[in-house]
């Protein structure tokens, strides 16, 4: 009887793995979806402006977690990404296990930028390697990562962060990149795309139209022809645009700037990212940008902002919804 049960268990595991491999193989196949933008390709009505309000930096500190969790539970934002190497990541992982339907991704982290609050790599293999500075932390600046860290070490650390998240119970809804590090070098970006496709986890990859390429190049991003070609081979869903919540000098100004941003959006899927945190003495010691973060923690529960988005006819999505729609198309 025991032998029979063991054979059944092994057979089930084999066929489950086989099914997963088939699913991933299907996602690796290039397909051509109909539509002028990714909203149309994923089945949203023509000319829809679809946005994803996306909170970066959860897990970085308790202040970020306390700001973002109510937003998600109240459906006031749609998505967030967590920093695995940071001290408060386990808190988010524990919360996610009770709320697995939420779209929590990984903010793949290769820098540690603050003056007093720092973190190192997740991979024990990389301790005291070129991925860390003289103090044993991840580099503060993206340009130092580019100058010092090999693609092989980037890959080891990315995989370690994904594996740590899964060990703690998070099945990432997506992956993106802290401080844009994985877009700072074409070899890093290609690795980013390939890992996303391998794991079947969508990355924040933009559809590089000529207009978008020109905009990003003017902003200083190294959008090379090689990067554009590599992105064209990426087989998971993309977004049409990605923009931050605009900076401001007052709460009223940040709202007005946000309204202008929304009114300027073209049809398609736009990720609007921001870094909300509740106000504490600790937050003020971590970052000089604390005031912007506190305003961002207030804005999307503001009745005026909620009503404005309704009046504009905005539709909302997240990465989990996008992947569900994508799989239905293929």
Nearest to 135 by CA among 156, 114, 159: 114
Each residue's pLDDT tens digit, 102-116: 999 999 999 999 999
Nearest to 159 by CA among 191, 115, 116, 207: 191
The answer to whether the beta carbons of residues 83 and 108 sit under 8 Å apart is no
For 27-59, b where at least 16 C-beta lie within 10 A, e where not — what string? beeeeeeeeebbbbbbebeeebbbbbbbbbbbb
The structural domains of the chain, with segments of one domain joined by +, span 33-329
The answer to whether the beta carbons of residues 139 and 133 sit under 8 Å apart is yes
Q: How far apart are CA 205 and CA 47, in angstroms?
A: 21
Each residue's pLDDT tens digit, 119-168: 999 999 998 899 999 999 999 999 999 999 999 999 999 999 999 999 99
The answer to whether the beta carbons of residues 242 and 271 sit under 8 Å apart is yes
In total, the chain counts a number of residues equal to: 330
Stretch 172-196: mean pLDDT: 97
Quote the tokens at residue 31.
Answer: 């397909």
Collapsed DSSP state (helix, strand, coil) of residue 99: coil
The DSSP result for 87-147, as a single string, is: TTHHHHHHHHHH-TTS-EEEEE------SS-----S-GGGTTSTTB-TTSSBPSSHHHHHH
Higher pLDDT, 141 or 11: 141
Question: Could you tell me which CATH number the domain at 33-329 has?
Answer: 3.20.20.370
Residues of the chain above pLDDT 90, percent: 86
Q: Is the pLDDT of residue 17 over 70?
A: no
Stretch 37-56: mean pLDDT: 98
Higher pLDDT, 3 or 197: 197
Give residue 19's pLDDT.
40
Q: Is the pLDDT of residue 1 over 80?
A: no
Q: How far apart are CA 111 and CA 179, in angstroms?
A: 8
Each residue's pLDDT tens digit, 240-280: 999 999 999 999 999 999 999 999 999 999 999 999 999 99
Give residue 31's pLDDT.
72
């Amino acid at each position: 009887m025991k032998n029979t049960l063991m054979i059944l268990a092994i057979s089930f595991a084999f066929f489950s793995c086989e099914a997963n491999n088939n699913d991933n193989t299907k996602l690796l196949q290039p397909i051509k979806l109909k539509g002028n933008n990714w909203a149309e390709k994923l089945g949203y009505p023509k000319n829809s402006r679809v946005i994803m309000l996306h909170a970066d930096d959860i897990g970085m500190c308790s202040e970020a977690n306390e700001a973002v969790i109510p937003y998600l539970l109240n459906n006031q934002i749609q998505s967030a990404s967590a920093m695995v190497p940071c001290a408060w990541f386990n808190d988010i992982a524990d919360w996610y296990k009770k709320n697995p339907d939420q779209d929590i991704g990984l903010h793949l982290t290769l820098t540690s930028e603050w003056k007093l609050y720092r973190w190192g790599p997740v991979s024990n293999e990389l301790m005291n390697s070129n991925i860390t500075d003289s103090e044993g932390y991840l580099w503060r600046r993206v340009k130092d990562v580019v100058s010092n860290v090999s693609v092989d070490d980037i890959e080891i650390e990315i995989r370690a962060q994904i594996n740590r998240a899964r060990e703690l119970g998070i099945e990432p809804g997506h992956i993106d990149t802290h401080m844009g590090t994985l877009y700072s070098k074409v070899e890093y970006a290609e690795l980013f795309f390939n890992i996303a496709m391998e794991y079947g986890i969508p990355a924040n990859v933009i559809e590089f139209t000529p207009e978008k390429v020109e905009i990003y190049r003017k902003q200083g991003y190294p959008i090379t022809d090689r990067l554009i070609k590599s992105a064209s081979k990426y087989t998971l869903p993309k977004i049409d645009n990605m923009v931050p919540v605009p900076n401001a000098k007052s709460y009223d100004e940040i709202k007005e700037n946000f309204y202008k941003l929304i009114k300027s959006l073209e049809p398609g899927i736009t990720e609007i990212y921001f870094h909300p945190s509740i106000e504490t003495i600790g937050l003020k010691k971590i970052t000089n940008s604390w005031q912007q973060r506190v305003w961002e923690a207030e804005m999307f529960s503001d009745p005026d902002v909620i009503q404005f988005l309704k009046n504009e006819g905005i539709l909302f999505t997240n990465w989990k919804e996008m992947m569900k729609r994508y799989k239905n198309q293929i």
